[in-house]
Structure 1
Amino acid sequence: MKYFLGVDAGGSKTYAVIADEQGKIIGAGRGGNGNHQKNREQAEESLGQAVSEALRSSGLSKDQLEYSWFGLAGADRETDFQILRPMISRLALPRTEISCDTWNALRSGTEKSYGIVLICGSGVNCAGKNRKGAAYQCGGFGYRFGDFGGGYDLSVEVFRSVLRADEGREQRTVLTERLTRLLGYHDVAELRADYLDHYRELPVHIAELLFQAAEEGDQVATGLLVKQGDELGLAAAATIRQLNMEKDSFDIVLAGSLLTKGDRSGIIRHAIEQRVKQSAPNGTLTILTREPVVGSVVLAMESSGMQVNQAILDRLSMENVHNKTGY
């Protein structure tokens, strides 16, 4: 029997899963922040913790692993890989591969080996691979480098909109009362004064206020979500053009908590689709329902020469991951 390790690491949590060649999950582990750009020492500790826990729960030794795939947030450029390769090598696993976490999210969300993935969680990212295996990443480096959105940017947009509405530069919005209550202030004047007097980070979960407000018809909230979707659609369309996929049929996998959990009414999704269909009429939007770590396991299997069929994918279900991890 052959065994495979898949790891998915982001800015808030790290998952490690071990499965056999039939797709049965036999071990899992978890750590905290796994993004070296956020905190290098913390990321290495989280990766080590998750992998050790997965090995311990599986009863396997490192030498019994056929292949390991690490899908890591922040694995974007060669300078990142120069940091990450030594970090992963210190885990002393026999055969490993490292990629950006976009690729395991893509592979988890489509039965094909190619397609487009859009991630919208705390930040945003977009990447794609065509039938020939050519790959392209669009964005993923933050607002200054052309991105818009994700929890961090949207939290700032909510904050700005509330202040602008209070000054009369923006139309009135239910976000005003909800933001001041969430942050513990009596009114906008108190909020403004405190944030002017003290440098404070805005909690990323402020972005969650947008969804309920938009569902209730708030125009400011709806406008921000439409802009988020339009920006993601622009990134997907640019990736499609770069990879000459305009006439192809493929999946566009929507990943990240704001797309898979937050966008209940489909406002972001509809805006994405409007943009994407202009570039690739045969592209199909699909919401990621498996854990991204499943894609890492699949990539580990395929890297060893295995053909991953539907039965294996079914066994590598989100339910089985949760049952084994307890998270």
Structure 2
Amino acid sequence: MSLERPVPEPGDPVVLMPASALVLGGDLGGTSTRIVIADHEGNVIGRGAAAGGNPTSHPASAAANFGQAIHQALDGIDPRLVSTAVIGMAGGPALSNPDIGARFEAAWSGAGLVCEPKYIGDLEVAFASGTPEPDGTVLIAGTGSNVGLVHDHALVRTVGGHGWLLGDDGSGFWLGREAMRSVLQSIDLREPLGVLGEAVVAATLTDPGIRVAAEREGYDNLRDELVRTVNNRPPVMLAELARTVVAAYDADDKTAQALVKRAAELLIETVSRLRTTSDNGPLVLAGSVAGESSPVGRLLRQNIHEHFDGEVLTARDGVGGATWLALGALDPALATRANHARLVS
């Protein structure tokens, strides 16, 4: 096997690297698992995808989906050539569970991979997908919300991310919960439900017969049916109502507009716990709620410069960010801006 010598910084030891060395990047989310194989020049040579690979939200199936995506990405590739792997996931702490950890290890070794995978948080991957800069701040607002401070491409501190019960202010869950609370308050006060309220009822009581019966029997029955239905589901499913809030916002519903405005304010407040006005590194925004197409994300971008200096960027392809970090772990000289642009575009 031929060897090439990367150009070291002054004083760095010389490391010989196989010319055929490959890297693996992974992005394991609640809805999808994505794996990329790239050569040491940043060219993607393999991709794989499967259903959700977050071991917290999918403890029974995450490892199997992880393995499926790896096998697909490695199709026609010798897994022994993969020298470095960086895998981002939101549910990383779940790997400390011996059973879940063993399943992930079995999926990894079962694919013939021999290098040691490095699991990192979704904040680091999101930041790397948005910028090649080594230092800055990242906000993820999707189902939950979390902010991280990044130094030298590594996460050094976080705020928020306390989960649906204790925090996640401004997140999709927060929007859904507050929308439901506004409906219940309107019912208690015998007020008209409005565009948002009617949409929340329809999205929650999906059986038309149950909904019509509850509405016909009066506000108290409708309230009881809503409360019963919500309490019989996993709490995090309230996040699904975030889409209802956005639709009502677009229909000029005043309650939805107030919730969207407050969500943006809460997210800015969360960032302010970590980032000061003197920080000038980039702020990367990630997640569906903070996205450019979301009204919350649009308000964030309009108002964030009133509070913080620095460039505001949007996270892009998470698995590309993880793959770029894997290149840097293989050899820092490979973590170039050109490779970054190639992998996250």
Q: Same fold (TM over 0.5)?
A: yes
Q: Which residue of 2 aligns with 1:139?
A: 160
Distance in 1, Cα, partners of 2:24 & 2:74: 9
Distance in 2, Cα, partners of 1:50 & 1:268: 36
Superposed, 1:84-123 pairs within 5 Å as 86-90=102-106, 91-92=108-109, 93=113, 94-123=115-144
- Are 2:199 and 1:178 aligned? yes
- Output one character per residue of 1:211-266: Cα deviation in whole Å (capped at 9) or x when no partner: 2322343221122112222222122121225xxxx423211111111222651474
- Partner of residue 79 from structure 2, selected from 14, 39, 62: 62
Deviation at 1:170, TM superposition (A): 7.7
- Output one character per residue of 1:257-293: Cα deviation in whole Å (capped at 9) or x when no partner: 122265147454147616xx43xx32322122x2111
- Output one character per residue of 1:292-312: Cα deviation in whole Å (capped at 9) or x when no partner: 111110111111114322322
Contact in 1 for aligned 2:27/2:88 (Cα 8 Å): yes
Distance in 1, Cα, partners of 2:179 & 2:252: 16
- Partner of residue 297 from structure 1, selected from 323, 332, 341: 323
Q: CA RMSD in A?
A: 2.8
- Are 2:247 and 1:212 aligned? yes
- Greater Cα offset, 170-179 or 44-53: 170-179
Structure 1 residues 310 and 211, CA gap change in structure 2 (3 angstroms)? same
- Partner of residue 4 from structure 1, selected from 12, 16, 23: 23
Report how many residues are paired.
305
Structure 1 residues 4 and 45, CA gap change in structure 2 (3 angstroms)? same
- Output one character per residue of 1:95-116: Cα deviation in whole Å (capped at 9) or x when no partner: 3211111111110111202211
Q: State the secondary structure of the residue aligned to 1:316.
A: helix
Q: State the secondary structure of the residue aligned to 1:258.
A: coil
Deviation at 1:146, TM superposition (A): 3.2
Superposed, 1:46-57 pairs within 5 Å as 46-56=65-75
Q: Which residue of 1 aligns with 2:273?
A: 238
Identity of aligned residues (%): 27
Distance in 1, Cα, partners of 2:228 & 2:251: 34
Q: Which residue of 2 aligns with 1:321?
A: none
Q: State the secondary structure of the residue aligned to 2:311.
A: strand
Q: Which residue of 2 aligns with 1:283?
A: 310
Superposed, 1:156-175 pairs within 5 Å as 156-168=177-189, 173-175=194-196
Structure 1 residues 266 and 149, CA gap change in structure 2 (3 angstroms)? closer
Deviation at 1:177, TM superposition (A): 2.0
Structure 2: unaligned runs, 5 residues or longer: 1-19
Structure 1 residues 255 and 169, CA gap change in structure 2 (3 angstroms)? farther
Structure 1 residues 172 and 291, CA gap change in structure 2 (3 angstroms)? same
- Give the TM-score, by structure 1 length: 0.82
- Partner of residue 232 from structure 2, selected from 200, 211, 232: 200
Structure 1 residues 145 and 249, CA gap change in structure 2 (3 angstroms)? same
- Partner of residue 222 from structure 1, selected from 228, 238, 257: 257
Structure 1: unaligned runs, 5 residues or longer: 319-327
Structure 1 residues 292 and 169, CA gap change in structure 2 (3 angstroms)? farther
- Greater Cα offset, 138-147 or 3-12: 138-147
Larger Rg computed on CA atoms: 2
Contact in 1 for aligned 2:24/2:323 (Cα 8 Å): yes
Deviation at 1:178, TM superposition (A): 1.8
Distance in 1, Cα, partners of 2:31 & 2:180: 23
- Partner of residue 74 from structure 1, selected from 91, 97, 121: 91
Q: Which residue of 2 aligns with 1:255?
A: 286
Contact in 2 for aligned 1:226/1:267 (Cα 8 Å): no
Q: Which residue of 2 aligns with 1:325?
A: none
Counterpart residue identity of residue 29, structure 1: G
- Output one character per residue of 1:170-203: Cα deviation in whole Å (capped at 9) or x when no partner: 8854202222333433448464232344543245
- Give the TM-score, by structure 2 length: 0.78
Counterpart residue identity of residue 185, structure 2: R
Q: State the secondary structure of the residue aligned to 1:257.
A: coil
Superposed, 1:5-44 pairs within 5 Å as 5-44=24-63
Contact in 1 for aligned 2:37/2:44 (Cα 8 Å): yes
